[in-house]
A and B are shown apart, each in its own frame.
Chain A
């Protein structure tokens, strides 16, 4: 039996959440101390913020040093609407959350392409800008004097909630937030975000629109932060600019890292511990910043995986976890390709040139790849082979010339759009998605074919869950095809090199490409695996997928190719059947090598 929503939440999970709900209900009744209830309220909303922050930090690998700014937006929006306009909590609160979400979307724009310290600067600048805004825009925020008399939420009858009732509200929402986060992060959404984090370029190659998914992560994270801010404002009754400072952003980030970023329950553990510390050390006022700084340092240096992350890594815990269920491959075999319906070249480069600075990596290259063939591409290291693949897959726009796909001239097409047009690839230096399992790699490969979107996964509708199951079976079929089905549940980066290459092929096949570009698939692969690789490439061709193969391994390339093109110094110097190319004097000179007798002179 399956519920129409939360279809993936099993009995154990329900039991766990029911237990949490009971604890939440019971806590303020058992420990009936006003101060304690207040602390518990704070813990609950600070937890919500941390949980949202972890979606950015742990899943997308973006750091945020400005979450206090988003928290402020939620708090001020709701507080001002409640006090100035007199709107009830139930209207002002959702608006506060929504405005924070919009701010998050805007904040995503400068974050999209920035990396490292530049990325840190984006959120830092935002945080400081909000700090200045709350402090200086006095006509709106009243600066350090603050906004006071923010009402507590009302019950349906019109009377204000008691602190205990308000705690129930916040903690209940926090519980729901965790449930929804589990849904999102345990599903396609979390998987796609992790893929982006692992390798943006590889994610694009299977059709993931990097920008859209990063914006999504920012919006979700901001919504959580705004929600926390709203609860804070209506708890305290008074907010001013002193709260929303850099130190608060740091504390959010610390709680995530302390609990364990990228773990489902790390934010919970981290925010509870970190926010209880000041209560414990309250008497050591002069030293509490030393302690605080020391805690951050110790966490960062000695617990890089956080508390939950470290516990999960313990061998005892790993053994205790349930083994993943066996997934049967889908019967009826393999659908590798999209229908091919014409005789035009699948892809054609016309006079394609590509410059890097002053260096011409490709010089007026003309290559047409005919449908259904294996097209070998050889040439010495540095002759422009990889650049050619990068141009064909939209990674580098050509500096001159044009690319035709199925006879149509392409404009500027980005890599994820190329995937949509049926062109995908593998990588010379293997690009896997960090800690994702082998199976999940292929699941990300199905990106363009999955129908269930963010909302369906947020609620885990029966349709979404069913789709995932169905595609997991398809993924197993593909893994079986490349011969690594028995390793489906392993972390992909733990596979030996050769199997990682095969996994890249399986991931690319999940796109169901018309054209598959293999960039040195045999590099680092042992002879037995090369035999398997040869068979796989032939099977893929027989299934109707056109392939371009870059290789140095002569035996392999001469054994599988129908046509071979030879590049040297960015120019195509020969093309023909394997026999023709091997006889070509230019090729022999440039690549296969002539004698060195002249060197004796």
Chain B
């Protein structure tokens, strides 16, 4: 039993760190615009499939495939902002962006089916598939790479936001748009930057995760939504909360997977509903006091 739990923890962390990576993307756009990309999972899928094209079809090195996917997704992020966000943010129905990003995700998924076909593609890990042993539990080198890569990237994003001037400007826009504009910061450009960053993270998530799952056009939706749930559980405006939320969701699923594989699929959603009933802004979210 102990071995099972240990194993679940290890696998949970690797899946969870991907959730955390995607969710970090939600965080960046949410704090700057109040909106997020509901097609983040589809962007992850594009990252994975484009990785396949680069790494397998074209035979490029894995590192190049990673960079290529990130670049492609950055461009897609800028496009998404232009098409689905800028056009809808001023609408009376405050959640129009939900549907507009969903619409983009539908189109993206259909395009993926046409380009790469509907089949699952195997993406062999560049680190081989020799199982490493951590105590009694086994872990693939790719999983280890995912954990370190994702958490490292999340920390890097935080470092960017806290230390780089551009990051500070982005943080300023997030905190107070009006004051930022008065400082001479081009708010619109920062919003584009936020979506570029967010999409790049999804693309990175895709090339990281593809070797331990399969790459195919329908791989993204569920991780995208679960990462959203993780962000909500942690609290959308709290990056640390999101990181913990992502890892927690990953581990939680694996634990419930021990009990019953059907429970594993639904537990995250049940969990997020229970949490929202008690804490409407997530476990570590800011408690809003409406100013009257």
Contacts and interface: CB of A to CB of B under 8 A. Distances in A.
B281 interface: yes
B93 A257 contact: yes
A484 interface: no
B109 A121 contact: no
A113 B277 CA distance: 8
B87 interface: yes
Given A128-B225, A300-B88, A120 B95 contact: yes
Interface majority SS (helix, strand, loop, mixed), chain A: helix
Contacts of B145: none
B118 to A, nearest CB: 12
Given A246-B221, A297-B100, 6 more contacts: A110-B274, A117-B236, A126-B269, A135-B265, A136-B265, A289-B106
Contact of A120 (B98, B266, B282): B98
Interface string A242-261: 00001100100110010001
A124 B26 CA distance: 16
A65 B98 contact: yes
A117 B36 contact: yes
Contacts of A121: 228-229, 232, 272, 276
A508 interface: no
A117 B232 contact: yes
Interface of A: 57, 61, 63, 65, 109-110, 112-122, 124-126, 128-129, 132-133, 135-137, 201, 246-247, 250, 253-254, 257, 261, 286, 289-290, 292-294, 296-297, 300-301, 304, 356, 386, 390, 395-396, 427-429
B290 interface: yes
Interface in B84-116: 84, 87-88, 91-96, 98-100, 102-107, 109-111, 114
A100 B18 CA distance: 35
Nearest to B108: A293
B167 interface: no
A121 B234 CA distance: 13
Which 3 interchain pairs have the tightest Cβ spacing?
A: A296-B103, A113-B280, A136-B262
Interface of B: 26, 30, 34, 36, 83-84, 87-88, 91-96, 98-100, 102-107, 109-111, 114, 221, 225, 228-229, 232, 236, 262, 265-266, 268-270, 272-274, 276-277, 280-282, 288-290, 292
Given A118-B236, A121-B228, A201-B290, A300 B100 contact: yes
Given A261-B93, A293-B107, A293-B110, A118 B282 contact: yes
Contacts of B114: 286
B24 to A, nearest CB: 15
A386 B236 contact: no
Contacts of A301: 87-88, 100
14 contacts: A61-B93, A114-B276, A117-B30, A118-B282, A124-B225, A125-B268, A125-B270, A250-B99, A293-B107, A296-B102, A297-B107, A300-B103, A304-B88, A356-B289
Contacts of B83: 297
Contact of A297 (B94, B103, B282): B103
A304 B91 contact: yes
B219 to A, nearest CB: 15
B78 to A, nearest CB: 17
B34 A116 contact: yes
Given A63-B95, A122-B276, A427-B292, A132 B103 contact: no
Contact of B92 (A125, A254, A289, A304): A304
Q: Which of B100, B103, B277, B282 has the most chain A CB atoms closer than 10 A to its own CB?
A: B103
Contacts of B229: 121, 125
Contacts of B232: 117-118, 121
Residue among A296, A297, A395, A427 having the largest count of chain B Cβ atoms under 10 Å:
A297
Contacts of A289: 106-107, 109-110
The DSSP consensus for interface residues of chain B is helix
Given A110-B276, A128-B269, A129-B273, A290 B107 contact: yes
Contacts of B34: 116-117
Nearest to B265: A132
B270 A129 contact: yes
Nearest to A301: B87
A489 B150 CA distance: 58
Given A121-B232, A137-B262, A290-B107, A116 B95 contact: yes
A136 B96 CA distance: 32
A300 B99 contact: yes
Given A293-B103, A301-B87, A390 B96 contact: no
B265 A296 contact: no
A125 B269 contact: yes
A109 B276 CA distance: 9
Contacts of B103: 293-294, 296-297, 300
Nearest to A126: B273
A64 to B, nearest CB: 10
Contacts of B262: 132, 136-137
**Most chain A beta-carbon neighbours within 10 Å: one of B83, B221, B229, B232:** B232
Contacts of B236: 117-118
Contacts of A254: 99
Contacts of A386: 292
Contacts of B26: 117
Contacts of A293: 103-107, 110
Contact of A125 (B94, B110, B221, B272): B272
Contacts of A113: 280
Given A113-B280, A117-B236, A304 B93 contact: yes
A129 B280 contact: no
A296 B99 contact: yes
A119 B83 CA distance: 24
Contacts of B93: 57, 61, 63, 257, 261, 304
A131 to B, nearest CB: 9
Contacts of A201: 290, 292
- Which of the listed residues A114, A118, A135 has the most CB atoms from chain B within 10 Å of its own CB? A118
A122 B282 CA distance: 12
Nearest to B94: A116
